[in-house]
Amino acid sequence: MRYSRIAVLSAIHVLLQVLMPAASFAGVLEVNILVPDRVVVGSIFEMEIRVTVDAGRPPQPEIPGMDGLVISPVTGFHSTQIINNRITQIFRYSCRATKEGTYSLKGITAENKPAAPKTIQAIKATAGNPQDPGKPHPPIFVEAEVDKKEIWQGSQLTYDLYLYRRDVTPRRLGANLEDVLKPFGAVKVDDSLIPRGRQVVTVGGNKYEKTLAARYVLFPLEPGELTIPPVRLRGEVVASRNSGDLFNAFFGGVDIDQLNGGPVLTQPIKVKVNPLPEEGKPKGFSGAVGQSFTFSCELSKRQVNVGETFTMALRIKGSGNINSIKQPELNFPDWIEVYDTERKAADRYNDDRLIGEVAYDYVLIARKEGKVILNPIEFSYFGSADGKYVTLKQGPFSLEVLPGQGQGVTYLQGRRKRIRVTGEDFRHIRTNNVRLADESRTALRSPFFWSVFSAPWLCLAGVAFKRRREDYLLRNPQVSERIRARGSIRNRLAASEKRVGEPGTAFFNEIENALHEILSAQLGEPTRGKTRDQLQQILRDHFLSNRTGQKSRMSEEALSSWIDLLEQLDLMRFSPGADDISQRRNLLEEARKILLEVKNL
């Protein structure tokens, strides 16, 4: 298939029009590299390259291949800074040294602008136990301790995590304590209740500052040889001022894994958990293990009518895991209805022990008259201090049930629905102004739920859209200038409307300024100061040229109307006889039509 010369030239012209804007960057002022001076072989570290230009979009840096150093761009990262009309783009890379040695980062350029070389020293990881004097001692490590090495099943075990550091200041530290200790029934002790004093200790000939970072109370429920896995510390540290590295002390931050040459872990801890003895275990053993438990039970009334409600308050207090306590059994006659009650529990940490309380408030209804002796209620627990079972008892309770007025003596058996004591017991049923709610209706069918649920996502989408729009306008200053010019045109035309009846040239100046602003934004170059012939030629080349085979964006009539409008402005401005109110209004309407057409090009 043969192609004409004009078609080939047109294709080349279109290709150049597409490629030239992408390859045109403003002048690069400087290229800076930010990397750590020391890294561990095999560990990941970050490198930042900052490219600064005087205008436009900063170009992507060019990085030559380096033996032993793997460099990959971080996708999804974008950061731009504009300071004193200078635009700085931050390019971030993920790096890893595959072998020990010194690496020189040189030959990195951005649009032929070289960056100052940087040197990185890669060292081998040296992991070891900080307590071993024959091993290197890192600047930061953690140590876990427990208060006992042998305990009874379900009894309390205190777990402490200590932080050791020298010549570094922690920043944004965290540990996976919750994940590691959760299987052991861990309860975190509030930071305000643990000692926060700092000790200076010597480990392997080095002085460390020792701090209690966290304390947990554990209740192992499975007997046998218990192993608490290592806890890993994560975060960053900065060098102290007395370490000699002043730059790092003020601006730096090093990942502790990189600093120590590997993960910062505690040593695993082994604890022997003895099973509770079967000998002497009470029949109704509650599962409670601890010390100093107390048990109380009180009836609100000892004399009631048939069908009248009364309550029984049951309280269990002591030192131990209150979550393992089972609800005591009530061996009452069948004609006393017992309604389920809510279990209320609370605990507090005091004197190195977790002290808790469990409360049950039962609602009872007697359905038969007479005098009765209610059976005692028992609560048993295992004393972790002396290794013996203890049974506490409340009752028996005497109760007198009187005949109720108009009440039958029938009663119902079975499990009753849970009710709540309100202090008013029963009230009359309302028969007017009653609004019923569908209890089976879920929150997913509520408009309020979806409004609250979708609001954060809509806000996040709005912020993301705004950020993308700002980035787009930053990379395309011509588009930004067009948007600004369109807003300015509305203000100009509004000002012209107000000054139609004012004498002088202010009316004409506003229209002419609006014409030149929108035209300069569309052309990408200033038009004020050019002659009519020059301006006509620029408009013709920009809007009428179809050398690329594209359809013309402005007709000859529209171009003539544009030039005629500028000439009419000059005529009315400098020829007072041609200036009147009706002529000005016609001129303003003509300007609106032309500006609207140019705006849509």
Domain match, 235 and 146 both: yes
Domain match, 316 and 391 both: yes
pTM higher than 0.85: no
**How far is residue 372's CA from residue 362's CA, in Å, rounded to a whole number?**
18
Helices marked H in 408-476: 447-475
pLDDT band of residue 412 (cuts 50, 70, 90) is: very low
**How far is residue 72's CA from residue 44's CA, in Å, rounded to a whole number?**
11
Residue 89, class by beta-carbon neighbours within 10 Å (0-12 exposed, 13-18 middle, 19+ buried)? buried
**How far is residue 121's CA from residue 426's CA, in Å, rounded to a whole number?**
80
For residues 201 and 597, which has the higher predicted lDDT (pLDDT)? 201
pLDDT value at residue 439: 61
pLDDT value at residue 247: 38
CA 333 to chain centre: 57
**How far is residue 574's CA from residue 281's CA, in Å, rounded to a whole number?**
115
Overall average pLDDT of the 265-275 stretch:
90
The yes-or-no verdict on residue 326 having pLDDT over 50 is yes
CB of 510 closer than 8 Å to CB of 499: yes
> What is the domain-level CATH number for residue 359?
2.60.40
pLDDT in tens, 137-153: 688 888 999 988 998 98
Which helix (H) or strand (E) is 168 found in, with range?
Answer: strand 168-175
**How far is residue 377's CA from residue 431's CA, in Å, rounded to a whole number?**
42
CB of 44 closer than 8 Å to CB of 95: yes
For the chain, how many structural domains are there in total?
4
Overall average pLDDT of the 20-37 stretch:
71
Domain match, 519 and 592 both: yes
**How far is residue 227's CA from residue 271's CA, in Å, rounded to a whole number?**
6
pLDDT value at residue 431: 56
* Domain membership flag for residue 61: yes
**Beta strand segments in 219-323, E:** 224-228, 232-239, 254-255, 264-265, 269-274, 288-299, 303-305, 309-320
> What pairs with residue 225 in β-bridges?
272
Domain match, 149 and 269 both: yes
* Domain membership flag for residue 4: no
Look at residues 119, 110, 123, 120 and name the one whose alpha carbon lies nearest to residue 64: 110
pLDDT in tens, 223-238: 899 888 888 888 888 7
**β pairing state of 269-274 and 150-152:** parallel
pLDDT band of residue 424 (cuts 50, 70, 90) is: very low
Angle in degrees, 0-180, between the axes of helices 556-574 and 506-523, rounded to the nearest 10: 150
Domain match, 317 and 253 both: no
The yes-or-no verdict on residue 272 having pLDDT over 90 is yes
Phi-psi region of 493 (alpha: psi -120 to 50; beta: other; left: phi over 0): alpha
492 token code pair: 């100009």
SS (H, E, C) 536-561: HHHHHHHHHCCCCCCCCCCCHHHHHH
Domain match, 186 and 98 both: no
**How far is residue 486's CA from residue 489's CA, in Å, rounded to a whole number?**
5
Which helix (H) or strand (E) is 19 found in, with range?
Answer: helix 5-23
CB of 114 closer than 8 Å to CB of 121: no
Helices marked H in 175-317: 177-181, 246-251, 256-260
Overall average pLDDT of the 124-131 stretch:
48
Distances (CA, A) of 478 to 63, 392, 431, 484: 30, 86, 72, 10
Residues 6+ apart with CB under 8 A from 6: none
pLDDT band of residue 33 (cuts 50, 70, 90) is: very high
Domain match, 210 and 328 both: no
pLDDT value at residue 578: 57
> What is the domain-level CATH number for residue 45?
2.60.40.10
Which helix (H) or strand (E) is 189 found in, with range?
Answer: none
Lowest mean pLDDT among 256-270, 297-311, 329-343, 503-517: 503-517
Residue in this structure with the two tokens 């295992």, named with its chain if needed: 382
The yes-or-no verdict on residue 4 having pLDDT over 60 is no
User: What's the alpha-carbon Rg for the chain, to the nearest Å?
Assistant: 42
- What is the extent of the structural domain holding 259? 140-274
CB atoms within 10 A of CB 332: 19
Domain match, 231 and 191 both: yes
Domain match, 166 and 267 both: yes
* Domain membership flag for residue 199: yes
Look at residues 408, 345, 402 and name the one whose alpha carbon lies nearest to residue 371: 402
CB of 12 closer than 8 Å to CB of 230: no
Domain match, 149 and 256 both: yes
Domain match, 52 and 167 both: no
Which helix (H) or strand (E) is 7 found in, with range?
Answer: helix 5-23
pLDDT band of residue 549 (cuts 50, 70, 90) is: very low
Highest mean pLDDT among 97-106, 167-176, 420-429, 570-579 belongs to: 97-106
> What is the domain-level CATH number for residue 503?
1.20.120
Amino acid (one-letter) located at 367: R
pLDDT value at residue 32: 92
* Domain membership flag for residue 453: no
173 token code pair: 């530290």
**How far is residue 548's CA from residue 7's CA, in Å, rounded to a whole number?**
9
CB of 321 closer than 8 Å to CB of 290: yes
- Domain end (from 402, 436, 466): 402
* Domain membership flag for residue 407: no
- Domain end (from 89, 123, 157): 123
* Domain membership flag for residue 441: no
- Domain end (from 274, 305, 320): 274
Q: What values do phi and psi take at 162, rounded to 5?
A: -105, 145
Which helix (H) or strand (E) is 429 found in, with range?
Answer: none
Domain match, 36 and 111 both: yes
CB of 285 closer than 8 Å to CB of 391: no
CB of 125 closer than 8 Å to CB of 100: no
Buried b (16+ CB within 10 A) or exposed e, 269-286: bebebeebeeeeeeeebb
pLDDT band of residue 271 (cuts 50, 70, 90) is: very high
* Domain membership flag for residue 557: yes
SS3 380: strand
* Domain membership flag for residue 151: yes
For residues 108 and 326, which has the higher predicted lDDT (pLDDT)? 108
